[in-house]
Structure 1
Amino acid sequence: MGLLSRPTNTRKMVASLVPVAQMIVDILHAKSGKTLTSLSLSQDATVIDVKKAYKKIRGKSLKDDQKLKDIGLSKDGQLYFKDLGPQVGWTTVFLTEYAGPLVIYLCFYARPAIIYGVVDEPKAEVVNIACGCWTFHYAKRLLETMFVHRFSHTTMPILNIFKNSIYYWGFAAFVAYFINHPLYTPPAFGDAQVYGGLAGFVLCELGNFSVHIALRNLRPPGTKERRIPFPTSNPLTGLFSLVSCPNYTYEFGSWLSFSIMTQSLPALVFTIAGFYQMAVWARGKHRNYVKEFKNYPRRRMPILPFLL
């Protein structure tokens, strides 16, 4: 559930101000047929113009800690209630979407005979290392969800738990099937490629954890205060000088290193898909930082230093 602020606007008030070549458009609720508001629009307006005008009339969602005087309600006013539908806690969503990939991958690794049939060949060393990396990553995510992360919002739409789980669980099965397959071929450049990729993976995982700790310490317990993140005494947080979301930068680096280490195309597809989504999130967070803080460092990029 949520609250929206918006100015009072009736059809009668709008009609009295309508100039020539304009029209009144009623916006109705799809199920109840109830009139939500009336818009004054040009006859040449497009559908996107209608959407923008309606969004402007509706106002914006209000945060739980906003004061009434800060949203223009110094005297009498109106707040509009919006039902956001069934919700579920962020912690529940993250625990579900991260536990699945851990269990699924371990099933492919520990019980290959069930999936591939009789397996006589011993596993290549890189397969064991890959399983260790995958287990470490998702165990880390589960522990961070329980003990490190502080969420700005307590809930999200319940549909997200299914959507996110399909993404993570599906990719876990896709990657695990090929890396643990009896016909899997180790990397072309041998130990140099395997251990080079492993080193990159470990470094990026430590960097990601360091950034999460820095972000946690940035917000005092029990508050929703927002501050500009800067590098700390931990050198792995130095990426804050170049990007707004170094946790995503390190996350991308981890899976790129994993893909190189295993020389796995499915792992690379997972990496690219993850990078695309993280880039979208990073750009959104970067825009919010720039908008909220007038002194925000202008040379920072959202996720990739000097590029994106």
Structure 2
Amino acid sequence: MAITSVLQDVKKRKEALSQENVKYKVVVLHAKSGKSLAKLSNLTSNSTILDVKREYHKQFPKYYLSRQAFKVDPKGKLLKENETLKSLGLSKSPTLYFKDLGPQLGWTTVFLTEYTGPLLIYLIFYTRPAIIYGVAAASEPRASVVNIACACFSFHYIKRLLETIFVHRFSNATMPVRNIFKNSSYYWGFAAFIAYYINHPLYTVPAYGDIQIYGGLAGFLFGELGNFSIHMALRNLRPPGTKERRIPVPTSDPMTSLFSLVSCPNYTYEAISWISFSIMTQCLPAALFTTCGFYQMAVWALGKHRNYKKEFKDYPRKRKSIIPFLL
């Protein structure tokens, strides 16, 4: 009886192993035109979408891995790289639809480009007023708030550059090249807009003087410190070299306690920084930048909040996305 049981167990394991190693022949069609693009045969039921990308790259070297995307349905969502052909419930001769994501750039390159521009642009307006406003502007006295504003603006973007290099861990390695032009024009354009007015010889100091200036400065520094604390907490949440996602929670750093109230406190603190900067400088272009930035961050935060709730069954239901108790 014992021998029979062992033999049956071995047989079952062999059958399971043979099912796991079922060969798949994947037909690749273009997501828009439906045109046949390739047939991939060096795959099994346990092959992932990443394996599919590698096989496709062998046939078409132009399409490196980060440029490729696959779907089960031409109008469906993009498949994740860690999904297996078996987990998708596909037959032994499945059809996948290919989408070209276009030329890609690494997120580090994108962020360095986006954030270096505003820093340099603002410093040109501050250090070379004669170029922008005329020769006479160089001899005009500056209010202390103008110097403080330059220090704050520079600090913000230097902080972002350093975080990009040393802190951030990106779940996606790349983004489309075309996005860098859109994002850079936004950051660079607003930097010039804000710098032009704050460094202008006719700029007037805030109506409430030092109370408004230093109150705004305190709020700005509070927001920057909070934003950095959240970025560090998010970094430690994801192990190096992985795309693992966990529920973000407060750490021993008191600035991270905002995680108890909102899903994206980094955006909350970012908004606090720019609201404070706008109050400190009493500058309309800065307020417009703050408004546009908050709208975009709110859109991102709402999306991330929905994804958290969908992905984690035990996600805290009382959390909002960006504004405690409201949004």
Q: Pick the TM interval, shorter chain.
A: 0.7 to 0.9
Cα distance per residue 1:181-203 (max 9 Å; x no partner): 00000111111110000000001
From 89, 92, 100, the equivalent of 2:106 is 89
Q: What amino acid sits opposite 2:102 in the alignment?
A: G
Partner of residue 219, structure 2: 200
**Partners of 1:187 and 1:194 within 8 A in 2:** yes
**Partners of 1:243 and 1:302 within 8 A in 2:** yes
Q: CA deviation at 1:176?
A: 0.3
Distance 1:198 1:261 in 2: 6
From 171, 180, 191, the equivalent of 1:172 is 191
* SS of equivalent to 2:87: helix
**Partners of 1:282 and 1:302 within 8 A in 2:** yes
2:89 maps to 1:72: yes
Distance 1:243 1:56 in 2: 35
Q: Are residues 268 and 55 of structure 1, via their aligned partners in 2, closer, same or farther at CA, if it must alter by over 3 Å?
A: farther
Partner of residue 115, structure 1: 132
Length, aligned pairs only: 265
**Partners of 1:215 and 1:229 within 8 A in 2:** yes
Name the Cα RMSD after superposition. 2.3
**Partners of 1:28 and 1:35 within 8 A in 2:** no
Q: Aligned ranges for residues 46-57 of structure 1 at < 5 Å?
A: none
Distance 1:178 1:193 in 2: 18
2:122 maps to 1:105: yes
Q: What amino acid sits opposite 1:122 in the alignment?
A: P
Work out which of the two has the higher radius of gyration on C-alpha atoms and give 1 or 2. Answer: 2
2:236 maps to 1:217: yes
**Partners of 2:32 and 2:74 within 8 A in 1:** no
Q: Judge which range, 159-168 or 81-90, deviates more.
A: 81-90
* SS of equivalent to 1:300: coil
* SS of equivalent to 2:77: coil
Q: Aligned ranges for residues 29-68 of structure 1 at < 5 Å?
A: 29=33, 58-68=75-85
Distance 1:78 1:277 in 2: 37
Q: CA deviation at 1:259?
A: 0.3
Cα distance per residue 1:57-77 (max 9 Å; x no partner): 543212222333322247443
Q: Are residues 241 and 74 of structure 1, via their aligned partners in 2, closer, same or farther at CA, if it must alter by over 3 Å?
A: farther
2:283 maps to 1:299: no
Structure with higher RCO (Cα < 8 A, 6+ apart): 1
Distance 2:133 2:310 in 1: 53
Structure 2 gap ranges (5+): 1-25, 38-70
Partner of residue 249, structure 2: 230
| TM-score after normalising by structure 2 | 0.77
Q: Are residues 123 and 303 of structure 1, via their aligned partners in 2, closer, same or farther at CA, if it must alter by over 3 Å?
A: same
Q: Judge which range, 278-287 or 68-77, deviates more.
A: 68-77
2:182 maps to 1:182: no
Paired-residue identity, %: 73
Q: What amino acid sits opposite 1:71 in the alignment?
A: L
